[in-house]
Structure 1
């Protein structure tokens, strides 16, 4: 990529992976390659991260028949349709100029692709002018197969400012979630986090924590959080089609042994079950998933 912002550079330096990050960053382009266009056209859903009108960051999920997301030019994708009524990003995805991060993930093949850019409103949905396009490795992705569409659902089930006991259980059982972050003029980003159930800790109804497992060394998410602590989490219930969306603030903690943990404080909660959501099979866990465990030794905030 043309250059990391200071937040990502600070984390790369602290972990000692700057040289590797420069190498990996060369894979980031401002255009959609043919192989990426073909991948997008096969996907039945798209994760989108952005800020709502109040400035809260959220991650949301769009679902449609394969082809509802497609490349319409070398640096542009079009998305047919929009978010269900009541979704916290429904208004943002109907507003031209919204900075969005998108993530297309295929549980069948454990492939994923990220595209970040600026939204344009279209007659049948929206488009995104690409600024950063890149693939990620399959680490920590669980393999699943599509089962059926969730034919019925009550829409938004519950809004709140803290997790209910049932929502706490859902978070503890999760093997996957998505996180939206942002960094000023660099715009928004949507990323994936995965692990064995229990890798996300519920510290209280308003506080979560999870380990930051070794990845591609770019540290886009942790770098964004260093510049802007806002974050939006999306926990999908793959088997029912339900969604749990959280908006709040996050901070990275660094242990003496080199381990990293992210602590997240909840500001807003939305739980929904919308008709048309795709239901998936039970997972085949990634062989890369570490066993969940409590962080060892003291932890302290990351570089300022």
Structure 2
């Protein structure tokens, strides 16, 4: 059945701080406790998914899954979702797999970059018989703005070898900072103790991610659907994860650390698009892994909603 979103205290506080409680209430009516029926064909045809999860130390990570169409299979009653691990180009060094064994909270974002169609699915997960089984607790369409259109292709994903190399550390390296300053897209994961994990998209013009010092990032927060799931989560638990895809160099940079939202900030250049809000994120650990050599990507166009301040 459909339900009005049961916002937790952090989300309600964030909505008040942004003066968007009425907007959140209206959009909260789109939340369901299952995958909505019209979205089922969209779910089945996806080849990518973006996932938030929590490790045994309570740190939050964001991950990217790439597979064959059909690797996501909703149940007949749309109350659960299965991820077929045999249809994935599975990166064994991704923290996601161990995290699910320790803590079942997951947040999925399905985002078709070439069409900007998107759907968020949150729930509780476990692994059985070569599949991740997710009991859906919340599903909702989200804001399509700020998405840069791309075509990403990985032929025969399940048969593509995932490079085994992994690098990890605590302090960011110069090559990481150069990547962060160049990106136009990343994904943000947060979590709440009882409302679960969440994963969302963040996009902007190249340079919208600022590296303020060695490990501190500052990112403008644009207008969205007003529900403030991510900001509400970090008001109560600042632990967060970011993943930055570099499709040209075929690598992923995953960061885990602590985030906060800065409210009502001066913005003379207009980089926030009028919100006056900025994210700050302090990196505590990073992990860099490679993507298959067969992966290809092509930039199509930038979102027409991007602020002009940068």
Which runs of structure 2 are paired with 1:1-304 in the superposition (5 Å)? Answer: 1-72=4-75, 73-81=77-85, 83-93=90-100, 95=101, 98-148=104-154, 154-256=163-265, 258-275=275-292, 278-293=295-310
* Residues 77-132 of structure 1: per-residue CA shift (max 9 Å, x gap): 10011642211222123x27611101111011011111001003221221110011
- Partners of 2:17 and 2:263 within 8 A in 1: no
Which residue matches 2:272? none
Q: More displaced, 63-72 or 151-160?
A: 151-160
How many residue pairs get aligned? The number is 292
What is the deviation of 1:207? 0.8
What is the deviation of 1:153? 6.0
Structure 1 residues 48, 112: closer, same or farther in 2, change over 3 A?
same
Normalising to structure 2: TM-score of the pair?
Answer: 0.89
SS in 1 for 2:259: strand
**1-structure distance, mates of 2:28, 2:294:** 34
Which residue matches 1:296? none
**1-structure distance, mates of 2:262, 2:249:** 33
Structure 1 residues 277, 157: closer, same or farther in 2, change over 3 A?
farther
Runs of 4 or more consecutive aligned structure 1 residues displaced over 2 Å after TM superposition: 146-157, 238-241, 255-258, 274-279
- Partners of 1:178 and 1:234 within 8 A in 2: yes
What is the deviation of 1:54? 2.0
**2-structure distance, mates of 1:223, 1:277:** 39
Normalising to structure 1: TM-score of the pair?
Answer: 0.90
What is the deviation of 1:16? 1.2
Structure 1 residues 122, 203: closer, same or farther in 2, change over 3 A?
same
Which residue matches 1:302? none
**2-structure distance, mates of 1:277, 1:74:** 33
